[in-house]
Structure 1
Amino acid sequence: MDDDGIETDAKAADEGPGPGAPVPASAAWREGDHPGRRIFLNIGDLALDADPMGTLPQTTLAYETWGTLNKAKDNAVYVAHALTGDSHVFGPAEPGHHTGGWWNAMVGPGRPLDPERHFIVCANVIGGCQGSTGPASPHPEDGRPWGSRFPYLTLRDMVRAEIALMDHLEIDRWRLMTGPSMGGMRALEWTVMAPGRVGAIAPVGSTAASSADQIAWSTPQIAAIQADPHFNGGDYYDAPAGRGPHRGLGIARMIAHTTYRTMQELDTRFGRAYQGESDPLGKGGLFAVQSYLEHHGRKLARRFDANTYIRLVQAVQSHDVGRDRGGVETALARYTDPAVIIAVDSDRLYPLRDSQRIDAALTGSTGLKVVHSIVGHDGFLVESGQLNAFMSEFERAL
């Protein structure tokens, strides 16, 4: 499992959810599909951060819950998903949910976030492709997918929608808000946008502001999708299966996945080994690491949407909790409630120094916790033993 998912030799790039089935033009959840465990909230017109005069009309947020909100309403936990996650943070693959919970190691009976003790909430972000309003959703004017018309979003827009969900659930204050990567970024935004409504935060493998290096890595991912001849400027939803921009999306995921792992892990795991008996030295075969990346490229194309990938990557690029707030340190200094900052020591996407900066800026921080791993950014999913120990210690102290 990895931060955000994929599978690509020439034949396999056109394979879909079943053996030999072509990849759909978009794997977004669409109206009429099985709802799974999703609950749908109409939050109306949503004001957009990057355009003070703009709104996203008739916005819907898809969310799931586990456990029961107690009478005091003080056991609510919000889990914010990473780039290609969704609301299905816990549970099996089932009708309406093509994959199992993306954080089953953290959420569930006997886990640090336990539905027997907590009321756990997770929503698919706006701009997403698993039930919330996004590029694949019907435009209110003509019922056709938004496609190229879908607006630019920031993480602050996503948080504004999550605040509307909190109000709908009649929750005054989260006991804890946590999430990895992009989820951790939104947890930080919550502390500024909804002061007093977050009792504790636990960002994992995250940052307070996207750096030039992080923006640089994500830029060719967007370019790869836009260069796909089947992207059609973002209006590809009517294309038949096998004729969508899944190759560009797969390449984007291969680039991203390289940043989720480390040089040491890739060298140790694959070295210069060939894939099977194939010879990559001019004979058409692949190195094992190439096959691995292509596998992850195909996986994402079978469960995600290319336009959504672009919009969410752009939102992450926009992330700076200090923007128009006097800088990162000034913005985060306003939050004085408990916090634990968790980093992976080998993370080359969001390196340790990013978490150190967050930790130093938060007066309520209980200290930086470091997961030791050769895996890199994906350590937040792979190293569940260390991560769960940190989260359990922090949560039980609240």
Structure 2
Amino acid sequence: MDAAEATAGSETDGGTLSFPAGQGLRLDSGGRLEALDVAYQTYGRLNAAKTNAVLVCHALTMDQHAAGTNPATGKPGWWSRVVGPGLPLDPERYFIVCANVVGGCMGSTGPASINPRTGDPYGLAFPVITIADMVRAQAMLIAALGIETLFAVVGGSMGGMQVLQWAADYPQKLFSAVCIGAAPRHSAQNIAFHEVGRQAIMADPDWRGGAYEVAGVRPEKGLAVARMAAHITYLSEAALQRKFGRELQRDGLSWGFDADFQVESYLRHQGASFVDRFDANSYLYITRALDYFDLAAQHGGVLANAFANARGVRFCVLSFSSDWLYPTAESRDIVRALNAAGCRASFAEIETDKGHDAFFLDEPQLDATLRGFFASTAQARGL
């Protein structure tokens, strides 16, 4: 499908929207993707006034399949507990759009895509991307779908960073914005964990300098270790203790290096299942985009300046009490900057022991908060 053919006609729709050569994506690095594919999924219908569109931005390893069944995994969409009939984002009321980020591996242009100059996958010839580049591609998609103003843009983790970037770059296109479990920039600790993961991938002999697809191999061991290390940061010590403690996999110790403890087996499973659905080079590029994210630096070092033109946007900022990857203090920094810029912002810290991943999980307080914010904002929008 090309940009001219993109429509929003069915209850559940999607595909890949292609911007041909000459209509590609300008990048913060100074480069350009001359042609661009954006894979997306929609739920619900766009109303006649085109005022009910919601953009859902996904986290690092997620994709465009926020609801329904993911065709790649056969599992429910990653936000099926929020997007669906009777849920906070109800397709009966809203037209919901979710796109795979540029640099991803589920249909949008990324390092596994074919480089038109060589006929081979880009690999490390793919240009470095940023959160702003991802948002720029999303804005191209939204415009191609005939949407001038989004009722809401919402996301958690990396998705929350995209929300902040939308508010900074396209405030005139937003009625509301919901940022969940995110931060205005990546901390030294965040960068450090990502570097461990990248080094694990690049140390795998099958990485082949990023050209593993041409060689017909995959750096599965390195990618699995990267996922294991990252997954620890998505949980909390309390959640790990509650779920696993020091419980053994079997009676007695192996007196070796098998997975004696249940937590070890869990992490190995997370790593092994991850390599079946994600591309190693995409992991390198997307984690780098997160590391480069620093919204204040883009605006003279003052975070409030990023929101200077967003006074008409209604903001909701949410954090989780046990999130040590993006702790509540960083969400409070966002709220203070919004207040300093004169923006309307509500804030809530969700009490939970589930850590950073709480926005994926059964968390009634989060559901209620989202439901309340969307209901009141929809009323103000006249939906």
Query: What amino acid is the match of 2:49?
Result: A
Q: Percent identity?
A: 40
Q: Distance in 2 between matches of 1:324 and 1:208?
A: 11
Q: Distance in 2 between matches of 1:368 and 1:266?
A: 27
Give the TM-score, by structure 2 length. Answer: 0.90
Question: Which of the two has greater helix per residue?
Answer: 2
Gaps of 5+ in 2: 1-11, 378-383
Is the 2:81–2:362 Cα contact (8 Å) retained in structure 1?
no
**Alignment partner, residue 145 of structure 1:** 121
SS at match of 2:26: strand
**Alignment partner, residue 294 of structure 1:** 268
Residues 25-64 of structure 1 correspond to what in structure 2 (within 5 A)?
A: 38-43=14-19, 44-51=23-30, 54-64=31-41
Distance 1:280 1:328, change over 3 A: farther
Is the 1:106–1:384 Cα contact (8 Å) retained in structure 2?
no
The answer to which structure, 1 or 2, has the higher relative contact order (CA under 8 A, 6+ apart) is: 1
Distance 1:58 1:282, change over 3 A: same
Is the 1:203–1:341 Cα contact (8 Å) retained in structure 2?
yes
**Alignment partner, residue 348 of structure 2:** 369
| Further displaced range: 283-292 or 57-66 | 283-292
Q: Distance in 2 between matches of 1:277 and 1:270?
A: 15
**Alignment partner, residue 65 of structure 2:** 88
Counterpart check, 1:276 vs 2:250: yes
Gaps of 5+ in 1: 1-35
Residues 233-248 of structure 1 correspond to what in structure 2 (within 5 A)?
A: 233-240=209-216, 243-248=217-222
**Alignment partner, residue 120 of structure 1:** 96
Counterpart check, 1:356 vs 2:332: yes
**Alignment partner, residue 323 of structure 2:** 347
| Further displaced range: 272-281 or 366-375 | 272-281
Q: Distance in 1 between matches of 2:260 and 2:119?
A: 44
SS at match of 2:291: helix
Counterpart check, 1:332 vs 2:307: yes
Distance 1:99 1:235, change over 3 A: farther
Q: Distance in 2 between matches of 1:283 and 1:139?
A: 42
Distance 1:175 1:205, change over 3 A: same
Q: Distance in 2 between matches of 1:283 and 1:116?
A: 52
Counterpart check, 1:390 vs 2:373: no
| Further displaced range: 315-324 or 113-122 | 315-324
Is the 1:202–1:340 Cα contact (8 Å) retained in structure 2?
yes
Q: Distance in 2 between matches of 1:367 and 1:267?
A: 32
Q: Distance in 1 between matches of 2:143 and 2:280?
A: 31
Q: Distance in 2 between matches of 1:323 and 1:173?
A: 27
Query: What amino acid is the match of 1:360?
Result: R
- CA drift at 1:280: 4.2
**Alignment partner, residue 132 of structure 2:** 156
Q: Distance in 1 between matches of 2:174 and 2:125?
A: 34
Distance 1:284 1:113, change over 3 A: closer
Query: What amino acid is the match of 2:40?
Result: Y
Residues 70-219 of structure 1 correspond to what in structure 2 (within 5 A)?
A: 70-94=47-71, 96=72, 98-219=74-195
Is the 1:260–1:378 Cα contact (8 Å) retained in structure 2?
yes
SS at match of 1:42: strand
Q: Distance in 2 between matches of 1:324 and 1:129?
A: 27
Q: Distance in 2 between matches of 1:323 and 1:305?
A: 30
- CA drift at 1:276: 2.6
Q: Distance in 1 between matches of 2:35 and 2:252?
A: 52
Is the 2:13–2:43 Cα contact (8 Å) retained in structure 1?
no
- CA drift at 1:365: 3.9
Distance 1:291 1:283, change over 3 A: closer
Query: What amino acid is the match of 1:394?
Result: F
Is the 1:98–1:303 Cα contact (8 Å) retained in structure 2?
no
